[in-house]
Amino acid sequence: MSGTRKLHIKSYGCQMNVYDSQRMTDTMAREGFVEAAAPEDADLIVLNTCHIREKAAEKVYSELGRIRRLKEGAARAGRKVVVAVAGCVAQAEGEEIIRRAPVVDLVFGPQNYHRLPDLLARAERGAKVVDTEFAVEDKFAALAPASRAATRARGVTAFVTVQEGCDKFCTFCVVPYTRGAEVSRPVARIVAEVERLADAGVREVTLIGQNVNAYHGEGPDGAWTLARLLHRLAGIDGIARLRYATSHPRDMDAALIAAHRDLAVLMPQLHLPVQSGSDRILAVMNRRHTRSDYLDVIARLKAARPDMAFSSDFIVGSPGETEADFAATLAIVGEVGYAGAFSFKYSPRPGTPAAERDDQVDDDAKVERLARLQAEIDRHQAAFNETCVGRTLDVLFEKPGRLPGQLVGRSPYLQPVQAMAPASLIGEVVAVAITRAGSNSLFGEVARPFAHEPAPALASLES
């Protein structure tokens, strides 16, 4: 093969797939691959897939149809393209993917990303390769870190996986099967990664994990909790904001709640999925908490940090869900007063206990409940956004906004905020007077551009 080889990765699903795709890109950069923006230009195409709902999983196959035509075209021009399927569909379906889509050369699961250079070499020799074994070696240690240039190109916010996998086994969910058992990365490695990001200009880090608040990574003196880790990371120069996602209500311990009171850099926003407002459905889901346990956690967080804003995930039409159960879900939206939420129709997933039940809810009811729930969520989101009008919020500017001369950034509560501001403010936390609320974003005017110390690491961010 002549010239530089090119890689195109497309990510589906959750933030962890975004992070994983970046680490695969970094690892392949070490092998001489550069990123191609379009699949047409790539020698290696990786689809990093999601299996959470049927729709997400099926997307992969329509994309593979397009890629087949692309690969055939390249072959006619004498160019070989390797097609790989990674991620949670790869883990769940394995070689079935190659049977259904013979265009695929390589299938590998989330615990095998660090082996990509070797797997690719085997695929290039003409073999069909499937690797969905749960690796025993430390994947994260084997993956290459991002270069300074790659980090800068990705912007001033970054995800860092601190925990992966899940031992909770909610009855509807594939994640414990696709990601495997809960594993926490050691403290020292996370600290080193965040320091490296901060040094390259990152100002906001979101610690991610399927169950991030179950974090129990090895520290210098035994296992550390997420609260301790946050305290440590808060001291890193250049880091202006910390967030973490996704949390399970059962694992919100007192120290983590107190961290929201004690750490100014820990943002007052929390994604805390409740899934349903009905105790009966929560039990069927094996969530291992009740509605009142959940509301108690919310109350304790609000007591620790009065301006705390919450978001959630909801599933409607779970097996056995009645109108009364659904009414309890609608009611909890108002009770918590969510700033936003995602809601989904229950999708039976192969191999999960809920899919086996014979009390499935029919699709018409799911569609109707989803619409009602979304309307209720939208109403509360709009009300929350309205409460921000007239206030001055700290905004971390991230990139150019919708209109010329505008920048867009995020408020502490994760709302996008558009304001007229010079590009030199990208990477700065700036006080913005909020003048108007749209359906998804806020609009405002820069109030005090240098309310905060400019970060020295950012002086040459645009170079």
Report the amino acid identity of residue 43.
D
Task: Pick from 57, 89, 120, 175 the residue near ligand SF4 by CB under 6 A.
Answer: 175
For residues 86 and 109, the answer to whether their CB atoms sit within 8 Å is yes
**Would you state the structure tokens that stand for residue 448, as one six-digit string?**
């005090």
Question: What is the per-residue burial (b if ≥16 Cβ within 10 Å, else e) of 49-71?
Answer: bbbbbeebbebbeebbeebeebb
Site string (205-224) toward ligand SAH, x via CB under 6 A? -----xx-------------
Question: What residue type is assigned to position 404 of the chain?
Answer: P
Residues in touch with ligand F3S (CB under 6 A): 13-14, 16-17, 50-52, 87-88, 174-175, 178-179, 210
Angle, alpha carbons 220-225-231 (nearest 5°): 80
- Least separation in angstroms between residue 168's CB and ligand SF4 is 4
- Indicate which of ligand F3S, ligand SAH, ligand SF4, none lies near residue 169 (CB less than 5 to 8 Å, by partner kind): ligand SF4
Shortest reach from residue 275's CB to ligand SAH, in Å: 5
In 3D space, the residue among 85, 91, 15 whose CA is nearest the CA of residue 48 turns out to be 85
Contact (Cβ atoms closer than 8 angstroms) between residue 43 and residue 77: no
Q: Which does 88 bind (CB under 5 to 8 A by kind): ligand SAH, ligand F3S, ligand SF4, none?
A: ligand F3S
214 contacts ligand SF4 (rule: CB under 6 A) = no
Q: How far is CA 142 from the centre of its chain?
A: 22
460 φ, ψ (degrees, to nearest 5): -115, 30
Sites for ligand SF4 among residues 417-446 (CB under 6 A): none
Among 173, 230, 330, 421, binds ligand SAH (CB under 6 A): 173
Q: Are 107 and 85 in contact (CB under 8 A)?
A: yes
Give min distance, CB of 332 to ligand F3S, in A: 23
Residue 11's SS3 state is strand
Minimum CB separation of residue 214 from ligand SF4 in Å reads: 9
Cα separation, 63 vs 50, in Å, equals: 13
Nearer to ligand SF4 among residue 248 and residue 345 (C-beta):
248
Q: Which residues from 53-82 bind ligand SF4, rule CB under 6 A?
A: none
d(CA 158, CA 160): 7
Q: Is 172 in the site for ligand SAH (CB under 6 A)?
A: yes
| Binding partner at 51 among ligand SAH, ligand SF4, ligand F3S, none, C-beta below 5 to 8 Å by kind | ligand F3S
Among 6, 53, 248, 289, which residue interacts with ligand SF4 (rule: CB under 6 A)?
248
144, containing H or E segment: none
The region of 34-42, 295-303, 339-347, 402-410 touching ligand SAH under the rule CB under 6 A is: 339-347
- Residue 284 interacts with ligand SF4 (CB under 6 A): yes or no: no
Q: Which does 419 bind (CB under 5 to 8 A by kind): ligand SF4, ligand F3S, ligand SAH, none?
A: none
Tell me whether residue 15 or residue 424 sits nearer to ligand SAH (CB atom): 15
Helix (H) or strand (E) holding 387: helix 363-388
Q: Are strands 183-184 and 163-164 parallel, antiparallel or unpaired?
A: antiparallel
Asked if 227 touches ligand SAH (CB under 6 A), the answer is no
Q: Which is nearer to ligand F3S, 47 or 175 (CB)?
A: 175
With binding defined as CB under 6 A, does residue 51 bind ligand SF4? no
**Closest Cα to residue 135, out of 187, 82, 183?**
183
Partner from ligand SF4, ligand F3S, ligand SAH, none contacting 13, C-beta within 5 to 8 A by type: ligand F3S
Beta carbons within 8 Å of 456's beta carbon, 6+ residues apart: none
Which of 180, 273, 401, 409 forms a contact with ligand SAH (CB under 6 A)?
273
Question: CB of 306: closest distance to ligand F3S in angstroms?
Answer: 32
Alpha-helical runs (H) found in 79-225:
87-93, 96-100, 116-124, 139-142, 148-154, 175-178, 187-199
| Sign of torsion over alpha carbons 112, 346, 276, 313 | positive
The two structure tokens encoding residue 112: 């095998």
- Indicate the residue among 171 and 424 with the shorter CB distance to ligand SAH: 171
Q: Which does 346 bind (CB under 5 to 8 A by kind): ligand F3S, ligand SAH, ligand SF4, none?
A: ligand SAH
Please pick, from the candidates 158, 207, 256, 315, the single residue that binds ligand SAH as defined by CB under 6 A: 315
Handedness of CA 295, 301, 307, 313 (dihedral sign): negative
- Considering beta carbons, is residue 39 or 176 the nearer one to ligand SF4? 176
CA 59 to chain centre: 18
End-to-end CA distance of the chain: 32
Contact positions vs ligand SAH (CB under 6 A): 52-53, 172-173, 175, 210-211, 246, 248, 273, 275, 313, 315, 344, 346-347, 349
